[in-house]
Amino acid sequence: MGLLAGAGRLSDNILMRIMDGMMAIPGILLAISLATIFGGGILTVIIALAVPEVPVVARLVRSLTLTLREQVFVEAAQSYGTGPLRLQFKYILPNALAAIAVQTTYICGLAILFEAYLGFVGVGVPPENPSWGNIVAEGRNFALIAPHLILRRMTWPSPP
């Protein structure tokens, strides 16, 4: 979508207004609502975590497309008669992959935290699947009974 938005003014205006609307809703709130509507499950959690990140990546790719479109190597490719589709995928996208890789690592860390949030509030993956959120939700019952267990695990290594 970012490549398409960076290709022309009309597609840019339409797609970026849709992305702005999606970015107006906080990611965790959208993930919780999607997981609540469609029920818990691995596929639902994946969709609930991916949808809020689409506008972020689309805006990044759009800005990279707009920047790279003005570079000399793109102008040289245009002068040789390269078509717009080939120009986008052969010249612009490969030069944008480094920034996309950095954004992807950030999104992976954020997805782990959001999945833990979803599991903690009970709308994430089913309880039989291991998840940080499920583990913390189960352990919170024991925090009032034996809080020393939490401190012991956090500060001292367990005896051999």
The pLDDT tens digits for 92-135 are 889 999 999 999 999 999 888 888 888 888 888 887 888 888 87
Spans of all domains in the chain: 2-155
| 19 Cβ contact partners less than 8 Å away, ≥ 6 residues apart | 1, 5, 54, 55, 58, 59
pTM: 0.72
pLDDT in tens, 56-78: 888 898 888 888 888 898 889 88
